[in-house]
Each structure stands twice: as structure tokens, then as C-alpha cells.
Chain A
Amino acid sequence: MTARILIACRLVLGALFVWAAVAKLPDMAAFAQDVANYRLVPALLVPFVACAVVGVELLAGAALILGLLVRPAALVLAGLLAVFTAFLSQALLRGIDLRCGCFGGDEPASWWTVARDVAMLAAALAVARRPQGAAWLRRKAAMTRSASSG
């Protein structure tokens, strides 16, 4: 049962991050503006940070969906989500009114966004702790075969 929940977490997290990256790709300039509006990243670094976030989201999300490098991918996404949570919280506490930039579009940053990130962070940490990826599925299949043949 736990294994099925963790597999579902892995697939949902992977799909969410691939979706988030694909939604930002057509307008990277707008996402760079969203990053700048958090007022934490130096102006010159903003475009590089925006590109890095989208690339990491895409690659780590795809890895989770495919079940490859599950533990490192979940760890990277957990780190990303921790940073997102910190960025959002400081902006809300400073009274900065901005778009969250999470999935492209105009979604405003709110404490609901923070709660969603914290929930996703918990899921990413659970997947990183007990990765149920392709290697795990192969091991499980081998164990089932040896048990049935023995």
C-alpha cells in the first residue's frame, strides 16, 4: 500500500514539475520578471536563475516520471521546493504583491501557495527516502520470480 502511494507521489510530482517547466518555456522573459519581483536575486543573475529553475524542473520532473535517478531527482526537487517556500514566505511577510510564477500564468502568491509547496516538499522528501523507481521495480520483479521458481 505504502509503495503504491509513493509511486503515485513520484508520478504526480514528476508530472507537476514537467508541467510547470513546459508552461514557463514559451515566455522565459515573463518568468525572469517573476523571479526579479521576489527581490532576492541580484538583477544580473535573474535570467540565469530563471533558466536554471526551468531546466532543473524539466529534467528532475522527467526523471521522476521515468523512474530513473529517482532519489537524486526527488532530493533536487525537495531543495527547489524549500527555496520556493522561503522566497514566497519572505515576499508575503514583506507585503510584496506579486505573481508566484509557479506554473506560468497570473497566479498570485499567497499563503495557499506556500501550503501547496510545503505539501509537495513533504511528498518529495518521502520519495527521496524510499524511492520506488525503475531499479526498485526490477528488484521486486526479480524477487517475485525467484520466489515463484523456488
Chain B
Amino acid sequence: MSLILRAGLLCASGVALGLLANGFTPRPAPLGQGVLASAEQPGAACEDAQASVARISVREAKPLCLACAAAFVDARSPQEYAAGHVTGALHLSPGEGAETILPRLRAAPTVIVYDRDRDCAAADRVATRLQAGGIRDVRVLTGAWPEWLAGGGPGESGSCSLCTAGTR
């Protein structure tokens, strides 16, 4: 019997063994039901009670944006930022230096960071760096950019001229 055939048979037997063992385990994997990633489960998006950075929902953040009472920071890629972002948002990817935009953000009473993913991983990293840079009230937007769009939050497109123009 060829090596590949024996490997295939071993695999098939292993799969059968795994499915059989699942029937006897105290906490089986739910066969026949979908399992979503933790960050994609309803209500779990970015809402970790242990998170080191405070959260803010789209419903709470939208009025702050309309009243210019908060500065927004977009933690997605420059291309995604250019395609569309929260009106007036500055851009800062997790790998970029924050020195250029920090003076502007210090003048804002609240800074709201958002990214693309519902787990807020990139926004969390940027928010932590802003906190380390001396920004006191930093929040991460739950639901990220997709929820901002779905909630009818104001947006605009184009690259970030203020991000490279210094403190003017």
C-alpha cells in the first residue's frame, strides 16, 4: 500500500476516533452548530470587562463627534483611512510613531480610537500608546468602523494631511 494511502487511512481513522471521543467527553464540541470567534459573538465585540482601555459605544460617541467634543484616531491602514473615516479623525497605525499627532490630541477632552475589527486589537494597541504618551481620557470604539458606518456616523474620505503637518 502506498505511503499516501496509508497516511490517508490513518487520517480518516483519526477523524472517526475524534468524533467518537467527542461523544464521551464532559464538554463536547457542538457538532451541527456553528462556533463563532469570541470577538464575533453577539455582544462580545470588544466588550471585555478586563480591558485596560475604557470602551465607548457608537451611540455615545456619535454626539461627541457632531459636537467636536472628542478627537478620533483611526488605527486602520492608510489605504482604509483614505477610503473613508470618521469626519475629522487623525490616522495612526499601530506601528507608526505618535509624536506628530500627540500635541493635537492633548488639546481634546476625550480621544476615541477605532479600527476595522470587532475585537479592537489594533485600536487597543494604539490607545495604550496614546495613554503612555500622556493622553488621559482615551476610549476604544466598540463595534469599530463597520458599526460606526451602520449607525450612520459622519464620515469623509481622503488622506490625513494633519497627521504629517505637525502641530501648526
Contact = CB atoms under 8 A, between A and B. Distances in A.
A142 to B, nearest CB: 22
A107 to B, nearest CB: 16
Contact of A36 (B15, B28, B35, B121): B35
Nearest to A35: B35
B69 interface: no
A150 interface: no
Interface residues of B, dominant DSSP: helix
B36 interface: yes
Interface in B103-134: 119, 121-122, 125
Nearest to A51: B18
A30 to B, nearest CB: 7
A66 B47 CA distance: 48
A31 B16 CA distance: 17
Interface residues of A, dominant DSSP: helix
B17 A59 contact: yes
Contacts of A47: 22, 29-33, 35
A33 B35 contact: yes
B37 A36 contact: yes
Given A43-B35, A50-B18, A52-B18, 20 more contacts: A26-B27, A27-B26, A30-B27, A37-B38, A37-B39, A46-B34, A47-B31, A47-B33, A47-B35, A51-B15, A51-B22, A52-B19, A55-B13, A55-B18, A55-B20, A56-B15, A72-B6, A75-B3, A95-B94, A97-B119
